[in-house]
Structure 1
Amino acid sequence: MAKPPKALVNILIPALLLSAAAWVLWRELHELPPARIAAAAASLTPARLVAAAVLSLAGYGLLGVNEQIALRWLGSKVSWGRGIWTSFVAHALANSLGMAALVGGAVRVGMLAREGVSVAQSAVVTVYAAVSFGLGLAALAGLSFLVAPPEAFAVLHAPAGPLRLLGGLLVAGPFAYLAACALVRGRLVLFGHELSLPPLWLGLTQFGFGLTDVILAAVLMWLVLPGEPPPLANFAGAYLTAMAAGLFSGVPGGLGVFEGALVALLPQVDRANLTAAMLAYRIFFYLLPLAIAAPPLAAGLFRRGRNPAKLTPTEDPP
């Protein structure tokens, strides 16, 4: 029997996961009056909203600092302002549009070329950024599986044993990576691809920035949860599991999958409050950075179209 084309599988699996998440959300929230959600959102104080915006932008800024460290390791001295802005635009577009490696990599190639950064170096930075996030998410999500109470696994309709084993493997992953950074010299062949691992100090830097990035995002959403939120540690466990589900679903931004998992994992939280928090989280973590990055980027593309002879294909927006 012939196997289905890989491209078809890559479309069907996210579509099925998105459909399942939509069904979970509809089942849990379809009887929820919009007025209750609006009232919950309106209860958020200006101080909380400002703090959420600051946390979001600080997280994106730290990602830029992390990538600047990688660029200097590669021997490219891009100015701090240009490097952090490039990282901000790359993550803002990639987080919202999905296909993070492809979208973020294309943005970095286009915006860093004028700084003398080669396509290969931009590709390394893209992989470096993805690995940083993966290390932080793996460690924290794995820890959440290891310490989660049995009730959490019952909500997921999954046996505790395999998920705890998965948690152990996830926690072990970052430490295996760091060990490889310390011990492996030269190029490493993995799945037919040659890789050069960073030195241990840079691997530790990735791990630290990855942990900080994930923690800031979890705190941001906890901060915009109206009413009396659950303890941060309990909320973070559900958030990390939902984040991992959204990431692996292949759906852009984990839209629907992330929310569906959160609804299932936080049955004790008022549905109106949780819905308001999910909307606020999308605004601050996805739409706010996109709103900042998109206008100057679009202006730059418009100028290129108007003056193709004066601007290079890789010229950055003003």
Structure 2
Amino acid sequence: MRVQVQAQAPAAGGWPLVKRIGAWLFFAAVLALVVRQARTIDWNEVLDALRAIPRPALLAAAVLAACSHLLYSTFDLLGRRMTGHRLGTRIVMRVTFISYAFNLNLGALVGGVAFRYRLYSRLGLDSLTITRVLGFSMLTNWLGYLVLAGTVFCFFPMVLPPDWKMDGQGLRILGALLLAGGAAYLSLCAIARQHTWRLRGHELDTPSLRMALLQLAMSMLNWSLIGGMIWLLLQRQIPYHEVLAVALVAAVAGVITHVPGGLGVLEAVFLALLGHRAPQGTLLGALLAYRAIYYLLPLILAALTYVATELRARQLRRRLPNASS
């Protein structure tokens, strides 16, 4: 997807302020939930639960983590197809892996955005091409989220805590809205003739329906792998679709609060939504193992790969100083 921004006057009204206040209120609510939960946790029980996770479950979770990171590393290849730049497959996947690992641990601005711009510019891509690649990867990620979350909420709603006022019907409505958003994007790709749209000073390029379906399949599989990891680390004590649903809710909560890595947010959401289904120690033990396997180990590997990629970029720029698309 290409996004071209044209100069325009700042939007009038107080809507940006309302959104900012809403985000801070949400952050405050999550922070209060984290503090309240932390005071009631028996950390010895958490450590015991962590040690009790069978090695086969840890190994299986590590395999799913590797598959997820490998799959996400191919997202920017779709952006390469859309933009037509000529960087090699291994180089693109390396940049995407590094960005994703730092994104998980340090937040989207540092990982997903800053590292991509740094590495791709060192490899010879111009800012517009980098923006298009980044935008298309983000679109791929959240398209799969919309459809998968919509499907789970609409057709396999989780069992909410007894003291919650919201019931399964509310989740089904939310799921239907998410599915409608995904369907709208696919319909747009299907009916578009020139695949170029202009909206409020922005120029948007949509892919073909075939490319959009590939985006959808890759992203849905990636989110499913993430849910599968936590499900295995919980030793399958809770149905997979419920674990997946909570993981999807936690992902959005982390984005809204802007907490790097969703630290504390992920745990608070799982405790709030599944605390009536499993002991706190079991939930937190599984989530600590998940963070170690999916966040920290890839971060170490990404840091080492980043150094190697910087050196590789320097060599490539010497040989192809004008390489760009």
Which bracket does the TM-score occupy, shorter chain normalised?
A: 0.7 to 0.9
Cα 1:5–1:257 change in 2 (3 A) is same
Structure 1 residues 24-66: Cα deviation after superposition (integer angstroms, max 9, x where no partner): 422xxx3443222222111222222222222112211111223
User: Shift in Å at residue 160 of structure 1?
Assistant: 4.7
Match of 1:130 among 138, 144, 150: 138
Structure 2: give runs of 5+ residues left out of the alignment: 1-12
Shift of 1:204: 0.9
Query: 1:125 is aligned with what amino acid?
Result: V
Aligned to 1:12: 24
The CA deviation at 1:231 is 2.1
Q: Which residue of 2 aligns with 1:179?
A: 187
**Closer/same/farther in 2, CA of residues 150 and 135 from structure 1, 3 Å limit:** closer
CA deviation digits over 1:167-203, x for unaligned, max 9? 1010121111011011123421235422111111111
Equivalent position SS for 2:197: strand
Indicate whether 1:43 and 2:55 are aligned.
Answer: no
2:263 aligns with 255
Amino acid of the structure 2 residue aligned with 1:124: R
Contact 1:21-1:256 within 8 A present in 2 as well: no
Correspondence for 1:80 among 85, 89, 107: 89
More displaced stretch, 14-23 vs 250-259:
14-23
TM-score between both structures, scaled by the size of structure 2: 0.81
Contact (CA 8 Å) 1:109, 1:118: kept in 2 or not? Answer: no
What's the secondary structure of 1:152's corresponding residue? Answer: coil
Contact 2:160 2:167 in 1 (8 A): no
- For structure 1, which segment, 10-19 or 254-263, has the greater mean C-alpha deviation from structure 2 after superposition? 10-19
**Distance apart, 1:97 and its partner CA:** 1.3
User: 8 Å contact 2:195–2:207 — kept in the other structure?
Assistant: no
In the alignment, the residues of structure 2 paired with residue 32 and residue 110 of structure 1 have an alpha-carbon distance, to the nearest angstrom, of 41
1:159 CA drift (Å): 5.3
CA distance in 2, matches of 1:10, 1:111: 34
Question: Aligned AA for 2:224?
Answer: I
Distance 1:156 1:299, change over 3 A: farther
Matched residue SS, 1:157: coil
Return closer, same or farther for 1:113/1:51 CA change in 2, 3 Å cut-off.
same
Give the match's secondary structure for 1:25: helix
**Number of residue-to-residue matches in the alignment:** 302
2:305 is equivalent to residue 293 of structure 1: no
In structure 2, what is the equivalent of residue 65 of structure 1?
Answer: 74
Tell me whether 1:158 sits opposite 2:134 in the alignment.
no
Specify which of 244, 247, 254 is matched with residue 239 of structure 1.
247
Q: 1:105 to 1:269 in 2, by over 3 A?
A: same
SS of 2:160's equivalent in the other structure is: helix
* Residue identity opposite 1:288 in structure 2: L
Question: Matches of 1:162 and 1:31 in 2, distance apart?
Answer: 29
Tell me the residue number matched to 2:277: 268
Alpha-carbon distance between aligned partners in 1 of 2:200 and 2:278, rounded to the nearest angstrom? 43
Q: Provide closer, same or farther for how the CA distance between residues 21 and 138 of structure 1 changes in structure 2, counting only shifts above 3 A.
A: farther
Does the CA contact (< 8 Å) of 1:155 and 1:264 recur in 2?
Answer: no
The question of 1:22 aligning with 2:4 is answered no
TM-aligned CA distance change 1:20 to 1:189, over 3 Å: farther
Residue 279 in structure 1 maps to residue 288 in structure 2: yes
Structure 1: runs of 5 or more not aligned: none
Shift of 1:10: 8.1
Tell me if 1:33 matches 2:42: yes
Distance 1:63 1:174 in 2: 19
Q: TM-score normalised to the size of structure 1? A: 0.83
- Give the stretch that moved more between structures: 208-217 or 152-161: 152-161
The aligned counterpart of 1:196 is: 205
